[in-house]
Structure formats: C-alpha cells, structure tokens
Amino acid sequence: MTAAKHRQEPQFVSLSADEFRGRLREALEIYVDAMRYPPGTAEQRAPMWLTHVLREGWRCVAALDPHGALLGIAYGYRGRSGQWWHEQVRRGLLKARDEETARRWLADYFELTEIHVRPGSQGAGIGQELLRRLLDGVAHEHVLLSTPEGPSRAWQLYRRVGFSDVLRDYHFAGDPRAFAVLGRALPLDEPCP
C-alpha cells in the first residue's frame, strides 16, 4: 500500500470564537507559510484577526489532521461600509469601473477574509472543502475575496467553483503585490453534506 492509501481524511469542524482564539498562533503559522510572508507578519496580523472575530456574521471552519493539528483554516464575515477591506475594494472599483459595479458587488456580501492550507497539504481538496463548508448557509447575495495575482492552486480553486473577476491588479495598502478581487453569487451550487 502506498502512503496515500494510509493517509486519513481530514476532519472538518466549525470553530467558535473562543476555539479560534485558542488556535490563533497555529492558524497564523499556516497563513504566513501559505502566503509566503516574512515571519514577523504573524505578530502584526494577530490583533487584526482577533478583531475580525467580533464582526457581524463571523464564522470559521478548520481542517484537522488525525491528531487534531490544523491543516487549514477559513473564516469570514459580513462585509460592510467602513471596514478597511470594503473601503479599499470600493475605492479600487470606483477608479477602475463605476459606481453601479461597486454598488452591485458591495451591497450584500460575505467577505471570505482568510482561507489557507498548509503548503504540504495543498492539492488534496482541503481548500475546496473549507470553502464549501464556510459558505454553506451564508445568506448574502455574493461572496468576495482577494488573492495575489498569478497562477496558484488558490486561483485554480476559485475558478473551479465559479469565482469571476471583480477587480484585477489592485494594490492594497501595506502589500507591494498585485491582488485580484474575485466574487460569485451565493449560494454555491452544491450544499455541504
């Protein structure tokens, strides 16, 4: 038997705010590795992630290995006017497109804020399952996310589940890389079991 046949399927669980806080260091480690950020990024992002937990509609799904360690994490919440990401995207849409496009996408959306899988566990369907479980039952018109430009497994995943371009080659304050903002209508076509 090959090692792949011995591999056990990950367990997917919803995390409460308290459970998320308890796994914050582990989640940020995955984030830094998956996004290829410098090591000090985790300390910078921790306070922001903790404030996200307090936002309306916050929800989180995690993938765990057989020993309970995090393999992946996804969370998001209701996007609203006044939030940093919302205002950045709105500014970009007004510059690149028009008020109607900005209003259509930003009127009623769930912000898929973070979705990351340990690099060694990528390519096994964990990201897609995290995405589906996180969005299952979300009662908003759209889901929006941002991702670095360029070919990646994340891009393949988003295209496979029907995300389209909302804004391309956008530079968020504080990150030198170009990002794409992608979106799609909700619900996803296939509900989670």
The percentage of the chain sitting over the pLDDT mark of 90, rounded to a whole number, equals 82
From 2-16, 48-62, 102-116, 131-145, the region with the lowest mean pLDDT: 2-16
Q: How far is CA 53 from CA 85, 143, 155, 172, in A?
A: 15, 18, 26, 22
- φ and ψ of 181, to 5 deg: -105, 125
CB 180 within 8 A of CB 170: yes
Task: Name the pLDDT band for 74 (thresholds 50, 70, 90).
Answer: very high
What span, in angstroms and rounded, lies between the C-alpha atoms of 156 and 162?
10
What span, in angstroms and rounded, lies between the C-alpha atoms of 26 and 53?
16
| pLDDT value at residue 2 | 45
Q: Contacts from 147-156 at CB under 8 Å and sequence distance 24+?
A: 147/179, 147/180, 147/182, 148/35, 148/177, 148/178, 148/179, 148/180, 149/177, 149/178, 149/179, 149/180, 153/122, 153/123, 153/127, 154/115, 154/127
Query: For the chain, which residues make up each domain, given as ranges?
Result: 3-185
| pLDDT value at residue 173 | 87
Segment 115-130 shows an average pLDDT of 94
* Residue 110 CB neighbour total at 10 angstroms: 22
Catalytic residue, candidates 75, 77, 109, 158: 158
Model confidence pTM above 0.75 = yes
Res. 126: pLDDT tops 50? yes
pLDDT, one tens digit per residue, over 40-51 is: 899 999 999 999
What span, in angstroms and rounded, lies between the C-alpha atoms of 136 and 116?
18
Q: What is the CATH code of the structural domain delimited by 3-185?
A: 3.40.630.30
The percentage of the chain sitting over the pLDDT mark of 70, rounded to a whole number, equals 94
Res. 1: pLDDT tops 90? no
| pLDDT value at residue 151 | 86
Res. 176: pLDDT tops 80? yes
170 is catalytic: no
Work out the mean pLDDT of the chain and round it to a whole number: 92
What span, in angstroms and rounded, lies between the C-alpha atoms of 49 and 24?
8
What span, in angstroms and rounded, lies between the C-alpha atoms of 124 and 146?
22
